[in-house]
Structure formats: structure tokens, C-alpha cells
């Protein structure tokens, strides 16, 4: 007879629509980092992915005073398959487990995992999963219900995407969800739209020579990540997994353990099942592995090096350039030429941009040695950029404003929640005040200069 607490958890999971047997993955899912499902942020979506959820206090602004003028949205692609590299590492680990399962004395954990039918193939290589298409279709329908005056049949939509297939497919799925929301069952109806592939904006990091040299290709740039892999917290997890699988600890390392953990996450996010790989990990193990993932994101995409965020200045300036144009057209009583801009990129697109704006910055940088003081950190990648993450810039025209400065206002939403502005803590800002706050980035962050590599320059590490 299980203890009452276990039964209560099981009952709650059933009531929440969690498939039987997925309890273990559910307990680990808050710690999957960038491999997190979007529903982790909005649990009601597990029951109804099209539900807009509870009303957001203060969003949108009252229609009696302000009307949405323009939406610029930047999306991370939906749920995807692991990369070829991850799948090949998993195959190597599974081979080790199978060999141990046949050895004597028998090892129950290895025998159980040896029976796991591999369903991840190298050909999947980071492609959008069917669930990822549903992520984007549902997101489009929810946003359309929230912003009916902007996401309307008469509007012209400007789509842009990274060249990666998972982003192109995400854009297509979002477009279909939007079409369904606006036109219902009319399959002949089409959106008025433009579409472009724009890697200079959506994959700016590939085009920033300084970032590539100092961070991407610099073997010492991730020294904090490497140090944590060899630190006591991670070594304890590696030793535990080795013991569980009856393997010599020399046959495992932090990378292989992380692959096993992510295999657990892919089972939940893609198939909504409890992978047997999940049984290897406790919640305590998951917390350590989440920190390992966050360390990598912090040093490679976040606040670790200035070039990480500064490389996104072109994208930031492009957002404000479009808002400037909308304000100018509004003041001239002209139609807004780009009322809805929908751009599809990556976690690596959003994290540097949010860092550039000052979001999720902790008092102390994330380091290998301060794991114990970072339990309450703001920089948690699974909360910031899960699959289908979205950053919205919503520009309003307020025709009852008491002064010209108050006529245009902005709200920013991350993953359908209002973000307080870092400089004020408020959830709405005058557009003029926002431009003043970010004046240095708008005027002085020149991509070509920021990303130039001086001859004989030292690297970031």
C-alpha cells in the first residue's frame, strides 16, 4: 500500500490529464532547461492548448483609452527532436548499458534500459516534431483571441524566419493556426502576408565574427561549465548513475549523463510518455543538471560575455525602427504599413536579446563555485526560453492622452505574461521613455563595430 502522499500525487496527475506512468517525468520536468515544454509555464494548456487562460491584469490596455497599433513578435521554434550529435551520444550510452545488462552479476537497471526501444534516429537531427507544430498552431490561436484587432483577417502579416527547417516549419504551423482562427473552416482563405528568410536577424550570432571567435570557437570560453562538470555536485550525480547502471564511473561523464536526462525530457515533450531513462534521476539530480544547462546558456548566450548580448543589437534596433515607422505613420494618419511582424528563431535568438535589455540578471554571475547560492536565481532558461517561447512588443496608440508624450505606449510580454520593464518595474511604458532608456543601444551599438575582430586580439576566455 503506497503512502497517502504518493496516492495524492498520482491522483492529482490523473486529474491534470497526465498519462498513467508519466509521474516520474512530471516531477523532473521543471528542470529540463531549454528542453522544457511550454506547458510547464501554463499548466492549464495540458488540458486545453487553445485556452487563452485567465485574464492578464493590465493586458491589453483598456480599449476605451488605447488601441493596439503594432505587434512585433519573436518566437522560438516549437518542440523539436534532438540533434544528430545528441542521438549518436545516446546510441553510444545505450550500447554500454546493453553490454552491462548481459554481464554477470545481473544489473536490474541496465536490463530495464536495455529493453528500451530506441525511437530517436540521426535523420531526425533537430527537426520540428509533430507536437512542435501543435505548439505553434495553438499559440497562434491564443494570440489571435487575445489581440483580435491586430490579428484580424484584414491585416497584412510580415513573416520572417531563420533558415533552419524547424523554424520554417514553425512559421508554417503558426500561419496555419492563424488562418484557422481568422477564417475557420474556409480552406481557400489565405492570409495577406510577406515572407522572408533572414538569418542576419534571426541567427545574428552566426554573423558576429567576434562572438564566433571569442565564444563559439573558443575552447576556454566555457571554463565555468567545464569546472562544474568536474565539480562535486556533478561528480556525485555521475557516480550515482554509474552505480545504478552497474558501470565503472570511468565509462560515464557529465555529457553522457546529461544526454540520458535529455532523453527523459524528449520522451515527455515529444511523446508525453515517461521514458525509462527518467527512472535514473531524482529531483535533486535534476536540479544539478538544470544548473549545468543554465551555466552553458548564461556563458554562451546570456550575461557571461558582453558580446553575447551586444551581438543582438541589430535585432533590437530593427524592432524599434519598425515601431518608429508605425508611430510616424500614425501621426500622419496613414495606414500602418507593418502592423504585425512575426519572426521565428531560436533560444539563441531570444536569450541575448533579453540580456541586452537587462532582463533576468542576477546580482552574482552564475559560476561553477556558487551553485549553492543560486537556487533562487532569475536566470532559469526553462522559464525564459522553453520550446515555443515568445517575446512580444505591443505598441499602442492612446488617443485620449493628456500630452503628446503619452500618446504612444508599449507593453512587452514573454511567454504570454507581461514583463515589468527593468528600469521602472512597471508593466507599461511611454514609448518615448523606453527609447530614452535604451538610447545607448539604439544609437551606439553598431553591429559591424561590435562584431569586428581586431587583429591579434585576445579571446574572451
Q: What are phi and psi of 72, to 5 degrees?
A: -115, 120
Burial class (CB in 10 A: 0-12, 13-18, 19+), 224: buried
Residue that the C-alpha cell 507593453 belongs to = 411
Phi-psi region of 438 (alpha: psi -120 to 50; beta: other; left: phi over 0): alpha
Which DSSP symbol is given to 24? Answer: H
- Catalytic annotation, pick one of 77, 94, 346, 397: 77
Give the separation between CA 349 and CA 311, rounded to whole angstroms: 10
Specify whether the CB–CB gap between 291 and 371 falls below 8 A: yes
In contact, 388 and 132? CB cutoff 8 Å: yes
Half-sphere exposure at residue 183, Cβ-oriented, CA atoms within 13 angstroms: 15
Please state, in angstroms and rounded to a whole number, the distance separating the CA atoms of residues 377 and 363.
9
What's the CA gap between 390 and 415, in Å, rounded?
Answer: 5
Which long-range CB contacts under 8 A does 378-381 form with residues at least 24 apart?
Answer: 379/294, 379/297, 379/298, 379/302, 379/303, 380/33, 380/290, 380/294, 381/33, 381/34, 381/293, 381/294, 381/297, 381/347, 381/351
Known catalytic residue at 77: yes
- Would you name the residues annotated as active-site residues? 77
Amino acid at each position: 500500500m503506497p503512502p497517502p502522499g504518493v496516492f495524492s500525487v498520482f491522483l492529482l496527475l490523473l486529474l491534470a490529464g497526465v498519462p498513467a506512468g508519466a509521474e516520474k517525468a512530471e516531477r523532473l520536468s521543471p528542470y529540463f532547461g531549454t528542453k522544457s515544454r511550454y506547458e510547464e509555464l501554463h499548466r492549464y494548456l495540458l488540458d486545453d492548448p487553445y485556452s487563452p487562460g485567465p485574464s492578464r491584469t493590465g493586458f491589453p490596455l483598456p480599449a476605451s483609452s488605447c488601441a493596439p497599433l503594432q505587434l512585433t513578435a519573436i518566437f522560438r521554434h516549437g518542440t523539436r527532436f534532438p540533434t544528430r550529435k545528441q542521438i549518436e551520444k545516446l546510441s553510444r550510452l545505450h550500447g554500454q548499458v546493453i553490454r552491462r545488462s548481459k554481464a554477470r552479476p545481473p544489473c536490474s537497471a541496465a536490463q530495464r534500459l536495455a529493453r528500451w526501444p530506441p525511437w530517436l534516429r540521426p535523420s531526425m537531427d533537430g527537426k520540428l516534431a509533430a507536437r512542435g507544430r501543435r505548439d505553434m498552431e495553438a499559440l497562434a490561436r491564443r494570440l489571435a483571441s487575445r489581440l483580435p484587432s491586430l490579428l484580424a483577417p484584414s491585416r497584412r502579416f510580415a513573416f520572417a524566419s531563420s533558415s533552419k527547417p524547424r523554424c520554417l516549419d514553425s512559421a508554417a504551423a503558426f500561419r496555419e493556426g492563424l488562418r484557422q482562427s481568422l477564417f475557420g473552416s474556409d480552406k481557400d482563405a489565405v492570409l495577406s502576408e510577406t515572407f522572408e528568410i533572414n538569418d542576419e536577424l534571426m541567427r545574428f550570432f552566426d554573423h558576429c565574427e567576434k562572438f564566433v571567435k571569442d565564444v563559439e570557437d573558443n575552447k576556454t570560453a566555457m571554463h565555468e561549465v567545464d569546472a562544474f562538470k568536474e565539480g562535486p555536485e556533478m561528480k556525485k550525480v555521475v557516480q550515482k548513475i554509474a552505480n545504478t547502471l552497474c558501470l565503472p564511473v570511468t565509462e560515464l561523464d557529465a555529457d553522457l549523463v546529461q544526454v540520458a536526462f535529455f532523453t527523459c525530457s524528449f520522451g515527455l515533450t515529444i511523446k508525453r510518455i515517461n521514458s525509462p531513462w527518467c527512472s535514473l534521476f531524482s529531483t535533486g539530480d535534476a536540479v544539478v543538471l538544470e544548473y549545468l544547462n543554465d551555466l552553458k546558456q548564461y556563458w554562451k548566450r546570456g550575461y557571461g560575455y558582453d558580446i553575447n548580448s551586444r551581438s543582438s543589437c541589430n535585432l533590437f534596433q530593427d524592432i524599434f525602427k519598425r515601431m518608429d515607422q508605425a508611430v510616424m505613420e500614425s501621426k500622419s494618419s496613414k495606414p500602418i504599413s507593418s502592423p504585425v511582424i512575426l519572426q521565428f528563431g531560436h533560444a539563441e535568438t531570444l536569450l541575448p536579446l533579453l540580456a541586452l535589455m537587462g532582463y533576468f540578471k542576477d546580482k552574482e554571475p552564475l559560476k561553477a563555485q556558487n551553485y549553492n547560492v543560486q537556487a533562487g536565481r532569475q536566470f532559469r532558461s526553462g522559464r525564459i526560453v522553453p520550446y515555443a517561447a515568445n517575446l512580444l512588443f505591443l505598441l499602442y496608440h492612446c488617443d485620449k492622452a493628456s500630452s503628446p508624450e503619452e500618446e504612444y505606449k508599449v507593453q512587452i510580454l514573454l511567454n504570454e505574461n507581461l514583463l515589468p520593464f527593468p528600469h521602472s518595474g512597471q508593466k507599461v511604458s511611454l514609448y518615448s521613455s523606453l527609447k530614452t532608456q535604451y538610447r545607448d543601444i539604439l544609437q551606439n551599438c553598431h553591429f559591424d563595430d561590435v562584431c569586428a575582430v581586431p587583429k591579434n586580439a585576445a579571446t574572451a576566455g
